[in-house]
Amino acid sequence: MTTARKNSDVAKAAALAAKFHGRAPTAYQQIKVKPMPKALACIGAVSVIQYVAERDGKVYEFRHAFKVSARPHLCVTPDGQSVYIIGGLCTFTQDGFEDN
């Protein structure tokens, strides 16, 4: 990936995070992500996702129940060490997860 593309992706990620959290990021953490494996085990559909995040200076626990038609797939690597949520008819916006 080119440096310009990386910078563009970082800027887009920062903008989405700022909209969701209600403030611009004060720090960036680089997380190493392994390349996508050639095979995954599909475990099932994600019916609900629940997560803790800060928004507008307060910490909340968010919960989103997916419509049956919008549910993404829960997949794991063959060694069971990495988890992926893939697909689904949903997007993540400044309001959190939204079914499409």
10-48: pLDDT as tens digits: 889 889 999 999 998 877 787 888 888 999 999 999 999
54-68: pLDDT as tens digits: 999 899 999 999 999
Q: Are residues 75 and 56 in contact, defined by beta-carbon separation less than 8 angstroms?
A: no
Q: Are residues 37 and 71 in contact, defined by beta-carbon separation less than 8 angstroms?
A: no
pTM above 0.95, yes or no: no
Domain extents in the chain? 31-99
Measured distance CA(21)–CA(15) in Å, rounded: 10
